């Protein structure tokens, strides 16, 4: 027996997929089981097997899914050994440095799979000679969950024009295509597609229409019966093109009707200032660009009324074109991620900021924090801030989890490399029930313990997903040509 089979974790250099189902308990993660801290009190060479003293276990081989726990019972402890677990130091520098972790509570060894691959749990005791010795071990194979845990329910081809944005209200989904690449004298012909999803097994394309052949559409949101489309309003020269919002009555989806056109008044929304965002919440419409934020009262959708605006200013920074990284509204606060560069300094970075929007006439920035030196430019979509409880989930290359409980002092809890841009580039992220769903093959991250997030799915949908929305126990996923519905009830009903 090798003397190196003594650590709680042995991270194998080459990870592999194991083609079988999980063999542990499939239900919950024990909230009492905590990852034990690394213990460097002994060395691998100190620990030797003991043929005369041993521990008999209920299980010595486990196959678990990442994030899953299993309780192994100590059936017999000869000589009543004082058992411990020797852990290994974090040496690989990756998010999931350990394949497995464990702790002992009485006669129960709780084992948790924390990363894909093969590992071992070693139960140890101190021998009469003072050396650390091995009494028993547990071999563990940890697998990612495959597509059988988020099966495809249905899909339809909605367009060959690609996708710019998606919104949902009730049982209707609205998808906006970017149309043609704008050229002088050639209209973009951006289309909006209306899909009825009340029968998730048979989504129906109800209508497709062009709002304005000359309008380049950037973003869209929806409320019951209305959609709000933010687009570039053409002018005599590209430099003068501005951003406006069209409000469309879709209460009868067969006959969508533009009832209002509003040109942003107080905040510059020029084309060269980059992507822009529109968000609806509680009869208010938020128009956001890299330059600032404007708030409209749309209780009467045919007559939007300006309520207030806010212009961005970061002393000591300059903001290059296309510096917008994300925007989200939740309750009385707006959350913004902006790509900035301090004058005369590198590297560039993303600043995460919080605005108090409780009084639209007096919007104030409450707090900001630098979250990442941005190194790969242009790889991030615009739907990459998600708010859930006291945390903001922000993707700008890595995925950042930020504690926003105190809006005046946002704190970065962790930066996970699981969603690093050199591994995949999610155009959209979505949060539900402790999981982050990414738009790249539907990879899923367990973030119930923000300081140690775990990738728990293998992806494998073979679909490029650029927009995600939740619909009960279903995930709505739109790509360049296909709209798909996945059953994610396993995750929405999962008990952590």
Q: What is the rounded average pLDDT for all residues in the chain?
A: 77
Q: What distances in angstroms separate CA 408 from CA 334, 355, 360, 450, one per listed residue?
A: 13, 9, 18, 20
pLDDT at 25: 38
pLDDT at 365: 93
Confidence of residue 5 (pLDDT cuts 50, 70, 90): very low
Confidence of residue 392 (pLDDT cuts 50, 70, 90): very high
**Per-residue pLDDT tens digits for 238-274:** 445 567 889 999 999 999 999 998 887 765 554 444 4
- Asked if the model's pLDDT at residue 31 lies above 70, the reply is no
- Asked if the model's pLDDT at residue 12 lies above 80, the reply is no
Picking from 218-222, 279-283, 448-452, which range would have the lowest pLDDT averaged per residue?
448-452
Percent of the chain scoring above 90 in pLDDT: 35
pLDDT at 405: 96
- Asked if the model's pLDDT at residue 458 lies above 90, the reply is no
CATH code 3.30.470.20 for 1-143: no
**Per-residue pLDDT tens digits for 182-210:** 555 556 678 899 999 999 999 999 999 98
Backbone angles phi, psi at 20, to 5 degrees: -150, 170
- Asked if the model's pLDDT at residue 15 lies above 50, the reply is no
- Asked if the model's pLDDT at residue 323 lies above 70, the reply is no
Distance CA 486, CA 36 (A): 36
Q: How many CA atoms lie within 13 A of 414 on its CB side?
A: 15
Contacts of 3 (CB under 8 A, 6+ apart): 44, 45, 47, 48
**Per-residue pLDDT tens digits for 60-99:** 999 999 989 999 999 999 888 899 887 543 333 334 456 8
pLDDT (mean) for 2-9: 36
pTM of the predicted model, to two decimals?
0.79
Which residues lie across from 278 on neighbouring strands? Answer: 287
Specify whether the backbone of 366 is left (phi greater than 0), alpha (psi in -120 to 50) or beta: alpha
Q: How many CA atoms lie within 13 A of 428 on its CB side?
A: 22
Backbone angles phi, psi at 273, to 5 degrees: -85, 0
Tokens describing residue 194: 């209306």
The ranges assigned to domains in the chain are 1-143
């Amino acid at each position: 027996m090798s003397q190196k089979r003594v650590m709680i974790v042995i991270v194998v250099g080459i990870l592999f997929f194991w083609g079988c189902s999980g063999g542990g308990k499939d239900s919950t993660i024990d909230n009492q089981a905590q990852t034990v801290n690394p213990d460097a009190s002994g060395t691998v060479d100190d620990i030797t097997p003991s043929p005369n003293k041993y521990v008999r276990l209920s299980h010595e081989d486990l196959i678990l899914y990442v994030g899953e726990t299993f309780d192994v019972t100590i059936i017999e402890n000869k000589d009543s050994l004082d058992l411990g677990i020797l852990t290994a130091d974090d040496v690989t520098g990756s998010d999931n440095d350990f394949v497995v972790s464990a702790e002992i509570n009485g006669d129960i060894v709780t084992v948790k799979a924390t990363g894909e691959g093969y590992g071992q749990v070693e139960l140890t005791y101190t021998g009469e000679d003072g050396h650390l010795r091995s009494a028993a071990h547990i071999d563990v194979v940890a697998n990612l969950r495959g597509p059988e845990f988020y099966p495809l329910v249905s899909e339809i081809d909605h367009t060959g024009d690609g996708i710019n944005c998606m919104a949902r209200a009730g049982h209707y989904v609205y998808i906006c295509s970017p149309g043609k690449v704008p050229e002088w004298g050639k209209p973009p012909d951006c289309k909006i597609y209306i899909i009825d999803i009340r029968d998730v097994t048979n989504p129906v394309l109800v209508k497709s229409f062009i709002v304005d052949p000359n309008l380049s559409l950037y973003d869209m949101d929806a409320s019951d019966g209305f959609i709000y489309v933010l687009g570039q309003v053409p002018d005599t020269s590209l430099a003068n093109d501005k951003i406006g919002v069209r409000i469309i009555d879709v209460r009868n989806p067969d006959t969508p009707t533009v009832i209002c056109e509003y040109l942003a008044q107080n905040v510059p929304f020029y084309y060269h200032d980059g992507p822009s965002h529109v968000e609806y919440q509680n009869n208010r419409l938020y128009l956001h660009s890299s330059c600032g934020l404007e708030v409209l009262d749309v209780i009467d959708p045919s007559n939007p009324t300006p309520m207030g605006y806010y212009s961005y200013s970061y002393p000591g920074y300059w903001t290059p074109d296309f510096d917008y990284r994300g925007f989200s509204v939740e309750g009385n606060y707006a959350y913004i991620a902006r790509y900035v560069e301090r004058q005369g300094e590198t590297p560039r970075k993303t600043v995460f900021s919080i605005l108090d929007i409780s009084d639209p006439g007096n919007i104030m920035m409450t707090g900001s924090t630098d979250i990442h030196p941005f190194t790969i430019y242009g790889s991030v979509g615009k739907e990459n801030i998600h708010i859930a409880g006291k945390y903001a989930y922000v993707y700008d290359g890595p995925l950042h989890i930020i504690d926003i409980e105190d809006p005046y002092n946002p704190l970065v809890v962790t930066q996970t490399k699981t969603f690093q841009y050199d591994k995949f580039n999610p155009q959209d992220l979505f949060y539900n029930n402790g999981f982050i769903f990414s738009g790249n093959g539907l990879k899923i991250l367990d973030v119930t313990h923000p300081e140690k997030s775990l990738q728990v799915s293998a992806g494998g949908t073979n679909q490029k997903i650029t927009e995600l929305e939740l619909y009960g126990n279903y995930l709505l996923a739109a790509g360049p040509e296909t709209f798909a519905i996945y059953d994610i009830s396993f995750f929405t009903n999962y008990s952590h």
